[in-house]
Amino acid sequence: MKVYIITDLEGPAMISRFDQTRDVTPEEKRRSMLFLTGEINACVDGILDFDPDAEVIVWDGHGSGGIDHQRFHKQAKLIARGPIRAPYFLDESFDALMFVGQHAKMGDRGVLAHTYSSRAIEYYKINGVELGEFGCRALMAGTMGVPTTFVTGDDVTVEEAQELVPNIVGAAVKVALGRELAIHLSHEAACELIRDKAREACKKTGQIQPYFFEGPYVQEIRMLEGVSIQHHLDRGAEFVDNRTVRVHAENICDLYI
Protein backbone atom coordinates (compact mmCIF):
# COMPACT_ATOMS: atom_id res chain seq x y z
CA MET A 1 0.00 0.00 0.00
CA LYS A 2 1.19 3.53 -0.79
CA VAL A 3 -0.25 6.40 1.25
CA TYR A 4 0.25 10.18 1.08
CA ILE A 5 -0.37 12.21 4.26
CA ILE A 6 -0.91 15.99 4.34
CA THR A 7 -0.42 17.59 7.75
CA ASP A 8 -1.23 20.89 9.39
CA LEU A 9 -0.59 22.31 12.85
CA GLU A 10 -4.02 23.66 13.79
CA GLY A 11 -5.83 20.33 14.05
CA PRO A 12 -4.13 18.20 16.76
CA ALA A 13 -5.51 17.77 20.25
CA MET A 14 -4.26 20.33 22.79
CA ILE A 15 -3.94 23.07 20.12
CA SER A 16 -6.66 25.72 20.04
CA ARG A 17 -4.96 29.13 19.87
CA PHE A 18 -3.24 30.71 16.88
CA ASP A 19 -0.23 31.64 19.02
CA GLN A 20 0.42 27.91 19.49
CA THR A 21 1.08 27.56 15.75
CA ARG A 22 3.25 30.59 14.96
CA ASP A 23 6.95 31.33 15.18
CA VAL A 24 6.34 34.51 17.20
CA THR A 25 5.80 32.22 20.22
CA PRO A 26 8.57 29.63 19.71
CA GLU A 27 8.07 27.68 22.96
CA GLU A 28 4.36 27.27 22.31
CA LYS A 29 4.99 26.25 18.72
CA ARG A 30 7.62 23.66 19.70
CA ARG A 31 5.12 22.00 22.04
CA SER A 32 2.52 22.01 19.28
CA MET A 33 4.96 20.37 16.89
CA LEU A 34 5.40 17.52 19.38
CA PHE A 35 1.62 17.02 19.52
CA LEU A 36 1.36 16.97 15.72
CA THR A 37 4.35 14.68 15.26
CA GLY A 38 2.91 12.21 17.77
CA GLU A 39 -0.40 12.15 15.90
CA ILE A 40 1.35 11.68 12.56
CA ASN A 41 3.36 8.80 13.98
CA ALA A 42 0.15 7.24 15.30
CA CYS A 43 -1.38 7.48 11.83
CA VAL A 44 1.69 5.83 10.30
CA ASP A 45 1.48 3.07 12.93
CA GLY A 46 -2.15 2.46 11.99
CA ILE A 47 -1.23 2.14 8.32
CA LEU A 48 1.60 -0.25 9.17
CA ASP A 49 -0.74 -2.29 11.39
CA PHE A 50 -2.74 -2.93 8.22
CA ASP A 51 0.22 -3.34 5.86
CA PRO A 52 3.69 -3.71 7.44
CA ASP A 53 5.27 -3.04 4.03
CA ALA A 54 3.32 0.14 3.29
CA GLU A 55 5.13 3.14 1.82
CA VAL A 56 4.07 6.32 3.62
CA ILE A 57 4.98 9.80 2.34
CA VAL A 58 4.22 12.76 4.63
CA TRP A 59 4.12 16.38 3.45
CA ASP A 60 4.48 19.04 6.15
CA GLY A 61 1.70 21.37 5.01
CA HIS A 62 2.01 24.00 7.76
CA GLY A 63 3.32 27.30 6.42
CA SER A 64 6.25 27.67 8.82
CA GLY A 65 6.70 23.93 9.36
CA GLY A 66 4.92 21.80 11.94
CA ILE A 67 6.85 18.52 12.31
CA ASP A 68 9.62 17.72 14.77
CA HIS A 69 12.13 16.03 12.48
CA GLN A 70 13.96 14.25 15.29
CA ARG A 71 10.78 12.48 16.42
CA PHE A 72 9.38 11.71 12.97
CA HIS A 73 8.43 8.06 12.38
CA LYS A 74 11.40 5.99 11.24
CA GLN A 75 9.33 3.99 8.74
CA ALA A 76 7.80 6.99 6.95
CA LYS A 77 9.34 9.51 4.57
CA LEU A 78 9.02 13.29 4.88
CA ILE A 79 8.64 16.12 2.40
CA ALA A 80 9.79 18.98 4.64
CA ARG A 81 8.87 22.62 4.17
CA GLY A 82 10.42 24.23 1.09
CA PRO A 83 9.58 25.60 -2.37
CA ILE A 84 6.72 23.37 -3.51
CA ARG A 85 3.44 23.72 -5.34
CA ALA A 86 0.46 21.55 -6.27
CA PRO A 87 0.30 18.60 -6.67
CA TYR A 88 3.01 18.37 -3.97
CA PHE A 89 4.44 15.18 -5.53
CA LEU A 90 1.13 13.39 -5.08
CA ASP A 91 0.36 11.28 -8.15
CA GLU A 92 -1.69 8.36 -9.46
CA SER A 93 0.63 5.80 -7.87
CA PHE A 94 -0.84 6.41 -4.39
CA ASP A 95 -3.65 4.26 -3.04
CA ALA A 96 -4.96 6.88 -0.63
CA LEU A 97 -4.63 10.44 0.65
CA MET A 98 -4.95 11.12 4.38
CA PHE A 99 -5.01 14.34 6.43
CA VAL A 100 -3.59 14.66 9.94
CA GLY A 101 -4.05 17.83 12.00
CA GLN A 102 -6.54 19.41 9.59
CA HIS A 103 -8.73 22.43 10.39
CA ALA A 104 -12.10 23.53 9.02
CA LYS A 105 -12.56 26.14 6.32
CA MET A 106 -12.98 29.85 7.07
CA GLY A 107 -16.45 30.79 8.23
CA ASP A 108 -17.14 27.49 9.93
CA ARG A 109 -17.33 27.28 13.72
CA GLY A 110 -14.25 25.11 13.87
CA VAL A 111 -11.13 25.58 15.99
CA LEU A 112 -8.63 27.86 14.21
CA ALA A 113 -10.83 27.66 11.10
CA HIS A 114 -9.38 29.37 8.02
CA THR A 115 -8.88 28.84 4.31
CA TYR A 116 -5.17 28.85 3.45
CA SER A 117 -4.56 32.23 5.14
CA SER A 118 -6.24 33.23 8.39
CA ARG A 119 -5.27 36.84 7.71
CA ALA A 120 -6.24 37.23 4.06
CA ILE A 121 -8.89 34.84 2.66
CA GLU A 122 -12.65 34.93 3.27
CA TYR A 123 -13.39 31.99 0.97
CA TYR A 124 -12.37 29.89 -2.00
CA LYS A 125 -14.98 28.53 -4.40
CA ILE A 126 -14.22 26.10 -7.22
CA ASN A 127 -16.96 25.81 -9.83
CA GLY A 128 -19.29 27.41 -7.30
CA VAL A 129 -18.51 24.99 -4.45
CA GLU A 130 -16.95 26.56 -1.35
CA LEU A 131 -13.93 24.49 -0.36
CA GLY A 132 -11.30 24.81 2.33
CA GLU A 133 -7.86 23.25 2.33
CA PHE A 134 -9.29 19.76 2.83
CA GLY A 135 -11.75 20.09 -0.04
CA CYS A 136 -9.34 21.66 -2.51
CA ARG A 137 -6.69 19.02 -1.98
CA ALA A 138 -9.16 16.13 -1.86
CA LEU A 139 -10.42 17.36 -5.24
CA MET A 140 -6.84 17.57 -6.51
CA ALA A 141 -6.30 13.95 -5.48
CA GLY A 142 -9.61 12.99 -7.03
CA THR A 143 -8.50 14.24 -10.44
CA MET A 144 -5.79 11.57 -10.20
CA GLY A 145 -8.22 8.87 -9.08
CA VAL A 146 -6.81 8.88 -5.53
CA PRO A 147 -9.45 8.62 -2.76
CA THR A 148 -9.21 10.66 0.43
CA THR A 149 -9.82 8.07 3.13
CA PHE A 150 -8.95 9.59 6.52
CA VAL A 151 -8.97 12.93 8.32
CA THR A 152 -8.10 14.02 11.86
CA GLY A 153 -8.91 17.32 13.55
CA ASP A 154 -11.85 18.77 15.44
CA ASP A 155 -15.44 17.61 15.08
CA VAL A 156 -16.25 20.40 12.60
CA THR A 157 -13.39 19.35 10.33
CA VAL A 158 -14.59 15.75 10.34
CA GLU A 159 -18.15 16.88 9.51
CA GLU A 160 -16.84 19.05 6.65
CA ALA A 161 -14.88 16.12 5.25
CA GLN A 162 -17.85 13.76 5.53
CA GLU A 163 -20.05 16.16 3.56
CA LEU A 164 -17.63 15.86 0.63
CA VAL A 165 -16.53 12.23 1.10
CA PRO A 166 -19.44 10.38 2.76
CA ASN A 167 -17.51 7.18 3.58
CA ILE A 168 -14.34 8.86 4.84
CA VAL A 169 -13.04 7.71 8.22
CA GLY A 170 -12.61 10.54 10.72
CA ALA A 171 -10.88 10.91 14.06
CA ALA A 172 -12.20 13.91 16.01
CA VAL A 173 -9.54 14.63 18.63
CA LYS A 174 -11.27 17.74 20.00
CA VAL A 175 -14.71 19.37 20.04
CA ALA A 176 -14.96 22.98 18.94
CA LEU A 177 -16.36 25.47 21.43
CA GLY A 178 -15.19 28.52 19.48
CA ARG A 179 -12.49 29.61 17.07
CA GLU A 180 -9.86 29.46 19.82
CA LEU A 181 -11.52 27.17 22.33
CA ALA A 182 -12.09 23.42 22.43
CA ILE A 183 -12.57 20.33 24.59
CA HIS A 184 -9.55 18.12 23.90
CA LEU A 185 -8.69 14.47 24.18
CA SER A 186 -5.38 13.85 25.91
CA HIS A 187 -2.45 13.45 23.55
CA GLU A 188 -2.24 9.75 24.41
CA ALA A 189 -5.96 9.18 23.80
CA ALA A 190 -5.82 11.14 20.54
CA CYS A 191 -2.94 9.02 19.28
CA GLU A 192 -4.72 5.78 20.21
CA LEU A 193 -7.85 6.93 18.36
CA ILE A 194 -5.87 7.98 15.29
CA ARG A 195 -3.99 4.69 15.11
CA ASP A 196 -7.23 2.70 15.28
CA LYS A 197 -9.03 4.87 12.76
CA ALA A 198 -6.09 4.96 10.31
CA ARG A 199 -6.08 1.16 10.29
CA GLU A 200 -9.84 1.20 9.69
CA ALA A 201 -9.38 3.67 6.81
CA CYS A 202 -6.88 1.34 5.17
CA LYS A 203 -9.38 -1.51 5.37
CA LYS A 204 -12.06 0.67 3.75
CA THR A 205 -9.90 2.17 1.00
CA GLY A 206 -11.59 0.24 -1.80
CA GLN A 207 -15.02 1.38 -0.60
CA ILE A 208 -14.26 5.12 -0.66
CA GLN A 209 -14.70 7.00 -3.91
CA PRO A 210 -12.37 9.89 -4.84
CA TYR A 211 -13.85 13.36 -4.38
CA PHE A 212 -14.10 14.66 -7.94
CA PHE A 213 -15.97 16.88 -10.35
CA GLU A 214 -15.10 17.66 -13.94
CA GLY A 215 -13.15 20.68 -15.12
CA PRO A 216 -12.45 23.13 -16.58
CA TYR A 217 -12.17 24.87 -13.24
CA VAL A 218 -13.08 28.40 -12.15
CA GLN A 219 -11.78 29.44 -8.76
CA GLU A 220 -13.34 32.43 -7.02
CA ILE A 221 -11.16 33.95 -4.32
CA ARG A 222 -12.62 36.51 -1.93
CA MET A 223 -10.29 38.42 0.36
CA LEU A 224 -11.01 39.67 3.85
CA GLU A 225 -11.92 43.31 4.32
CA GLY A 226 -8.90 45.57 3.76
CA VAL A 227 -6.76 42.93 1.96
CA SER A 228 -5.61 43.89 -1.53
CA ILE A 229 -6.39 41.74 -4.59
CA GLN A 230 -3.63 43.35 -6.64
CA HIS A 231 -1.14 40.47 -6.40
CA HIS A 232 -3.78 38.16 -7.91
CA LEU A 233 -4.50 40.63 -10.70
CA ASP A 234 -0.77 40.91 -11.41
CA ARG A 235 -0.74 37.12 -11.97
CA GLY A 236 -3.58 37.27 -14.48
CA ALA A 237 -6.68 36.76 -12.33
CA GLU A 238 -10.00 38.21 -13.51
CA PHE A 239 -11.35 41.19 -11.55
CA VAL A 240 -14.81 40.62 -10.00
CA ASP A 241 -15.00 43.36 -7.38
CA ASN A 242 -12.64 45.11 -4.97
CA ARG A 243 -12.33 41.99 -2.81
CA THR A 244 -12.91 39.19 -5.30
CA VAL A 245 -11.09 37.65 -8.28
CA ARG A 246 -11.52 34.58 -10.49
CA VAL A 247 -8.91 32.22 -11.87
CA HIS A 248 -9.60 29.91 -14.83
CA ALA A 249 -7.71 26.64 -15.40
CA GLU A 250 -8.03 23.34 -17.21
CA ASN A 251 -5.71 21.67 -14.68
CA ILE A 252 -6.75 21.80 -11.01
CA CYS A 253 -3.10 22.23 -10.02
CA ASP A 254 -2.96 25.60 -11.78
CA LEU A 255 -5.35 27.04 -9.19
CA TYR A 256 -4.36 28.40 -5.77
CA ILE A 257 -4.59 25.13 -3.86
Task: List, for residues 32-70, the tens digit of each pLDDT value.
Answer: 999 999 999 999 999 999 999 999 999 999 999 999 999
Q: DSSP per residue over 33-70, as a string? A: HHHHHHHHHHHHHHHHHH-TT-EEEEEE-STT----GG
pLDDT band for 126, please (50, 70, 90 cuts).
very high
Mean pLDDT of the chain: 97
pLDDT at residue 108 greater than cutoff 90 = no
Q: If you average pLDDT over residues 70-79, what whole number do you get?
A: 98
Where do the domains of the chain lie, and which CATH numbers do they carry?
Answer: 2-215 (3.40.50.10780)
Model's pTM, two decimal places?
Answer: 0.97
Span 197-242, pLDDT tens digits: 999 999 999 999 999 999 999 999 999 999 999 999 999 999 999 9
Q: If you average pLDDT over residues 115-130, what whole number do you get?
A: 97
